Amino acid sequence: MGLGYLHSQLIIHRDICPANLWVTEHGLVKIMEFGAARDAMSYLDSNDWGRLTLDTRGPAEAPQVLGRYDYMPAEQARDPHAANVASDLYCLGSTLYHCLTGQVPFPSPDPVRQVLKHAEETPAPLTDFARNIPEALQEVVSKVLAKNPDDRYASAEEFASVLSEIVPPAVLPELEPLSPDFLNWLQSSAAKGTPDLPEVVEYPPAFREFANYVSQVR
């Protein structure tokens, strides 16, 4: 699992959400956008904890938010450099909740209210949105969205393992390896450099004016 690998490399993503999970044409999920992780790592490497504020005064300061309130656990919202494996799992759980219900755990245009709800309230049960959702799946979501980080799953691998027992993973098609002939052709083509581009045709001004007029006609 991609998130588990990141954690094994001591990288906390901090911004797991639907917008940062891209699905390939073969059904593989790719984790994107490591801006929050990069920013946090650069601040932590500086060992200057006093600069880890929620203010925004330029590139030397911490950004206003390392993540998104729709999916962010309360501990990360209160203290950006306190994010850990459990925080990423909470974000992933919020994303799963969104996928299952069609809305984030605590919809609100007010980020302060969202932080308070993430800290104090329980999201609406999955069965409020779909009656056929298994009770076991509700238990998994409730655990990964636990208020106390210690009550969540210990790792992304554990979360994925428990989830796969309820929702079997899809069978992905086997990808055919690239043929040696194609790789050799690709290498030789790259060595030759960029081929000469065709000569640009210069149209007379009258024709360009006419083409511009036609493009604006509804």
For the chain, give every domain's residue range: 2-166, 180-216
pLDDT at 5 over 60: yes
The SS3 assignment for 190 reads helix
pLDDT of residue 48: 46
Which positions ≥6 away from 21 have C-beta within 8 Å?
Answer: 29, 30, 31, 32, 95
* C-alpha radius of gyration, the chain, whole number: 24
Task: From 62, 38, 63, select the one nearest 49 (Cα to Cα).
Answer: 62
Contact 213, 64 (CB under 8 A): no
Three-state SS sequence of 85-112: HHHHHHHHHHHHHHHHHCCCCCCCCCHH
pLDDT of residue 196: 55
Contact 90, 144 (CB under 8 A): yes
**188 vs 149, more confident:** 149
CATH superfamily of 2-166: Transferase(Phosphotransferase) domain 1 (1.10.510.10)
Which positions ≥6 away from 204 have C-beta within 8 Å?
Answer: none
Compute φ and ψ for 104, nearest 5 degrees: -70, 165
pLDDT of residue 204: 64
pLDDT at 218 over 50: no
pLDDT digits (tens, 9 = 90+) for 74-101: 998 888 778 899 999 999 999 999 999 9
**196 vs 76, more confident:** 76
**Percent of the chain having pLDDT more than 90?**
36
The SS3 assignment for 21 reads strand
Which residue, chain included where needed, has tokens 């980080």?
149
pLDDT at 193 over 90: no
pLDDT digits (tens, 9 = 90+) for 19-56: 999 888 777 888 887 765 554 544 445 444 343 333 32
Cα 10–chain centre separation: 17
**Percent of the chain having pLDDT more than 70?**
66
| C-alpha to C-alpha distance for 118 and 19, rounded to whole angstroms | 20
pLDDT digits (tens, 9 = 90+) for 108-119: 999 889 999 999
- Please list the active-site residues: 25
